[in-house]
Structure 1
Amino acid sequence: MTARTNIACLGAGRMGRGIAVAFAYAGHAVTMIDVKARSAEDFARLEADALSEVRKTFASLARLGLLTDAQADTLIKRVSVVPANQDDAALSSAGLVFEGVPEVVELKREVLAAASKRVGRDTIIASTTSTILVDDLSGAIEHPGRFLNVHWLNPAYLIPLVEVSPGAATDPAVVDQVKALLEGIGKVPVVCAATPGFIVPRIQALAMNEAARMVEEGVASAEEIDKAIRYGFGFRYAVLGLLEFIDWGGGDILYYASRYLEGALGSDRYRAPEVISRNMQEGRIGLRTGAGFLDYSGLDVDAYRETRLKAMVDLLRHFGLARPPVLGGG
């Protein structure tokens, strides 16, 4: 793929529109392809709606200071919508094709199969599914070595993270190309196995359900729980990854806290996985032993801690919570 490869999106819905904004912002031409047979009148309405939303998104980014109104006018010209029966040029010129149709296996396989027959042999094809495993779709595609899942988090044009999930047949070189392309538009790709929930949806489903359960149990109000998440949970994990945080405090702390919560709340959903006790047995407790989930050997621990603490101070300033010290007697 070239640095400014053309992008095609199968589907002109929310995901296609978000991807179009992200790539157009970074200099790519993007064509959203309507995959549904429609009358000319119905297509005109879809086209107008899709382009209107993209235009509004660029206008919003301009108000937020990421671009000017004049630049927004330039960017919208990079985005187009074509009907299903006029997609030959878009598919034949695309370096990467994203599928973004509804989460129905049969529909996705049908759309992907048709597109794979009409793109170039070297064109990479990616599904954006949030629920269906890549290997459940790859059998519909000609040359499945160029197929993988690329899961965006909404809003796709803002959230940096993109989860890249290759299948059993995916060529490793294709993974590298996709990662490089995503990094080139300012995204942060992570590679994960083809497993239900990928990384973020799997973790956030647990957290969201637990927050809802606490409201149900009367632990705190929704407003108080959300305040705790913003200024405690989210605050820390904007700086430290979850596994890094385990190492920061020590895996043994998580082990004993998990045992207590499992007993006190009478639920095995708090039970620590075997890897926690195994790491303890092997002396991989975290920062204080030089290894945990991450390797800290040869690391200047004091400098590392200060770097992370500085990032937290920056967040305090962002939230308007950084205060000068109170000096003098009271």
Structure 2
Amino acid sequence: MSARPAIACLGAGRMGRGIAVAFAYAGHNVAIVDFKAREADKFKALEAEALGEIRKTFASMARFGLLTEADIETLVSRVSVVPEAGAGAALSSSAIIFEGVPEVLDQKCDALARASKLAGPSPIIASTTSTILVDDISGAVEHPERFLNAHWLNPAYLVPLVEISPGAKTDPAITARVKEMLEGIGKVPVVCAATPGYIVPRIQAMAMNEAARMVEEGVASPEDIDKAIKYGFGFRFAVLGLLEFVDWGGGDILYYASKYLTGALNNDRYASPEIVGRNMAEGKIGLKTGEGFLNYEGLDVDAYREGRLSAFVDLLKHFQLQKPPVL
């Protein structure tokens, strides 16, 4: 195997450990850098805890069939926990540094400032913040053109998605390089604007609050709401993206359904955004008109539908819900 670039994780918490597992699994050496000044015995305790958890994670992956038990020690050996005194060497020799310190603005800015100084101008630096916008912390980084946000979803070593959010000063070549590196370890990166909630947290916050609201209103039990999500909502959207699903059924259906819910539940949170009505006015209904949120021009619609339906059948098999016909 050709040499793969070294990776550093700034902070030894859950996110740093999860990212370390993902990159070590893909053949990279990873340094988890502890930025806190600690006495030797306390650092040794942290090191043992972090590596112990990483070893347990690889062991669980072996049980899931993702590797063999014989692979575990090789993978763990790629991860090191580095004390504050060794931070400079670890950071400056890394291709990319993932910052994962607590979600406190001052702490992040302090850690990023120290890390960028120690690392020098070459390594890419990516925050993993889930709440702070990239431009609110980019000023702490020397050479901010090499800085962006890479929002991983827990568990980082299993969930494919990583939301990349470049800042106003981020060099587009850096964004492309991070995307390429993430794809190289089997992740699915998407690029989004630096806005609160990015993509997934913004959508899931609305969905989770709505589920809680339905419990509060007595619409259904928590168990039945979760069952509906797993076998209805989640089942559909494991195959079709949200906007693809709008196009699949037709944007006009969403428009009229939203109008009804807004009136019936007397709440504007169900109202469609202007883009839905505008697409209708422009004839962009979805599959049936050849364009909606996505463009289907030249697509073999029958083959496309067949492929999506086949994926639904695969999910039925996964959930062990497929039954033979009664003859």
What TM-score, normalized by structure 2, do the two folds share? 0.98
Give the match for residue 226 of structure 1.
226
Give the match for residue 257 of structure 1.
257
Residue by residue, what CA displacement relative to the aligned partner does 1:273-315 show, whole Å, maximum 9, x if unpaired?
A: 0000000000001000000000001111000000000000010
More deviation, 317-326/237-246: 317-326
Aligned amino acid, residue 174 of structure 2: V
In structure 2, how many angstroms separate the alpha carbons of the residues matched to 1:60 and 1:261?
Answer: 45
Give the match for residue 154 of structure 2.
154
Give the match for residue 38 of structure 2.
38
Alignment of 1:179-258 (within 5 A): 179-258=179-258
Alignment pair present for 1:112 and 2:112: yes
Aligned amino acid, residue 261 of structure 2: L
Residue by residue, what CA displacement relative to the aligned partner does 1:27-55 show, whole Å, maximum 9, x if unpaired?
A: 00001011111111221111111111000
Give the match for residue 70 of structure 2.
70
Give the match for residue 96 of structure 1.
96
> 1:88 deviation in Å?
2.0
Give the match for residue 48 of structure 1.
48
Give the match for residue 130 of structure 1.
130
Q: CA, structure 1 residues 61+114, in 2 after alignment: closer, same or farther (shift >3 Å)?
A: same
In structure 2, how many angstroms separate the alpha carbons of the residues matched to 1:149 and 1:192?
Answer: 10
Contact 1:33-1:83 within 8 A present in 2 as well? yes
Residue by residue, what CA displacement relative to the aligned partner does 1:116-167 show, whole Å, maximum 9, x if unpaired?
A: 1121422100000000000001111111000000000000000000000000
Q: CA, structure 1 residues 173+71, in 2 after alignment: closer, same or farther (shift >3 Å)?
A: same
Give the match for residue 172 of structure 1.
172
Give the match for residue 17 of structure 2.
17
Aligned amino acid, residue 241 of structure 1: G
Alignment pair present for 1:85 and 2:82: no
In structure 1, how many angstroms separate the alpha carbons of the residues matched to 2:232 and 2:3?
Answer: 40
In structure 1, how many angstroms separate the alpha carbons of the residues matched to 2:137 and 2:88?
Answer: 22
In structure 2, how many angstroms separate the alpha carbons of the residues matched to 1:47 and 1:257?
Answer: 54
In structure 2, how many angstroms separate the alpha carbons of the residues matched to 1:243 and 1:58?
Answer: 36
Q: CA, structure 1 residues 84+14, in 2 after alignment: closer, same or farther (shift >3 Å)?
A: same
In structure 2, how many angstroms separate the alpha carbons of the residues matched to 1:84 and 1:119?
Answer: 13
Aligned amino acid, residue 187 of structure 1: K
Q: CA, structure 1 residues 47+303, in 2 after alignment: closer, same or farther (shift >3 Å)?
A: same
More deviation, 238-247/120-129: 120-129
> 1:92 deviation in Å?
1.6
In structure 1, how many angstroms separate the alpha carbons of the residues matched to 2:10 and 2:247?
Answer: 42
In structure 2, how many angstroms separate the alpha carbons of the residues matched to 1:290 and 1:65?
Answer: 42
Aligned amino acid, residue 20 of structure 1: A
Q: CA, structure 1 residues 134+29, in 2 after alignment: closer, same or farther (shift >3 Å)?
A: same
In structure 1, how many angstroms separate the alpha carbons of the residues matched to 2:291 and 2:75?
Answer: 47
In structure 2, how many angstroms separate the alpha carbons of the residues matched to 1:69 and 1:87?
Answer: 31
Contact 1:3-1:181 within 8 A present in 2 as well? no
* Number of matched pairs: 326
Aligned amino acid, residue 124 of structure 1: I
In structure 1, how many angstroms separate the alpha carbons of the residues matched to 2:300 and 2:98?
Answer: 43
Aligned to 2:70, the other structure's residue is in SS state helix
Aligned to 1:303, the other structure's residue is in SS state helix
> 1:3 deviation in Å?
6.3
In structure 1, how many angstroms separate the alpha carbons of the residues matched to 2:214 and 2:38?
Answer: 47
Contact 2:87-2:118 within 8 A present in 1 as well? no
In structure 2, how many angstroms separate the alpha carbons of the residues matched to 1:169 and 1:197?
Answer: 20
Aligned to 2:95, the other structure's residue is in SS state strand
Aligned to 1:150, the other structure's residue is in SS state strand
Aligned to 1:94, the other structure's residue is in SS state coil
In structure 1, how many angstroms separate the alpha carbons of the residues matched to 2:151 and 2:3?
Answer: 21
Give the match for residue 282 of structure 2.
282
Give me the identity figure in percent.
Answer: 73
Aligned to 1:266, the other structure's residue is in SS state coil
In structure 1, how many angstroms separate the alpha carbons of the residues matched to 2:35 and 2:205?
Answer: 31
Aligned to 1:321, the other structure's residue is in SS state coil
Aligned amino acid, residue 112 of structure 1: L
What TM-score, normalized by structure 1, do the two folds share? 0.98
Give the match for residue 140 of structure 2.
140
